[in-house]
Amino acid sequence: MKSPRTDATARLAAAVAWSIAAVCTDAAPAAGPKLLEPERAFAFSVQALDAKTVEARFAIASGYYLYREKLRFSVEPASLASAPSLPAGKIKDDEFFGKVETYRGELAVKLTLGQPAPGSKLVVRAESQGCADVGVCYPPQIQSVTVTLPLPGMPPAAPVAATPARKSWFN
């Protein structure tokens, strides 16, 4: 009859041996594809062009796409003078939504303001949804940016990113 101490020692030895074998033979399960955070895959920024117009931009990472029909824009406290005119997208036969228009790379949309107030701050919101080519779709997301409208005769302000670039230790 084995003692409880011998039995526990044998189980511990077996667990250690299995762990070492798994590490040495690379038997650990393979990791899935490394996906970007949605705010990095679909980087949103806004530039105030003049007192009546702002430009909303998406920098879409390689291997990712946005759905045209899932884009919505709003501004506060002003309003949009009209619905934004979205450029045509590329037709894709999507496994989730059927035939859809999508955007890749860069997307810029001009938004015309209904009651502009030169020099005032404005919050621009974008609702979007996109996917990665590896077959993973992100839930709809809302990103917002606060910009200051330029005064008449002033040049456009610099673009403002919803998610600032990460600092690197190497550059």
Which tens digit of pLDDT belongs to each residue from 10-44? Answer: 333 333 333 333 333 344 445 667 899 999 999 99
Using CA atoms, how far apart are residues 68 and 89, in angstroms rounded to an integer? 7
What CATH number does the domain containing 133 carry? 2.60.40.1250
Q: How far apart are CA 75 and CA 12, in angstroms?
A: 62
Residue 79 burial (CB count, 10 A):
11
What is the domain extent for residue 117? 39-161
In a domain, 6, yes or no: no
What pLDDT does residue 153 have? 84
87 Cβ contact partners less than 8 Å away, ≥ 6 residues apart: 103, 107, 109
Q: What is the pTM of this model?
A: 0.75
Residue 63 inside a domain? The answer is: yes
Is 140 inside any structural domain?
yes
> Which residues in the chain land under pLDDT 50?
2-29, 171
Residue 10 lies in a domain: no
pLDDT at position 31 is 61
Neighbours of 16 (CB within 10 A): 10
Is 150 inside a domain boundary? yes
Non-local (6+) Cβ contacts of 69 within 8 A are: 100, 101
Whether residue 48 lies inside any domain: the answer is: yes
How many independent structural domains does the chain possess?
1
CB 61 within 8 A of CB 96: no
Residue 104 lies in a domain: yes
Does a structural domain hold residue 31?
Answer: no
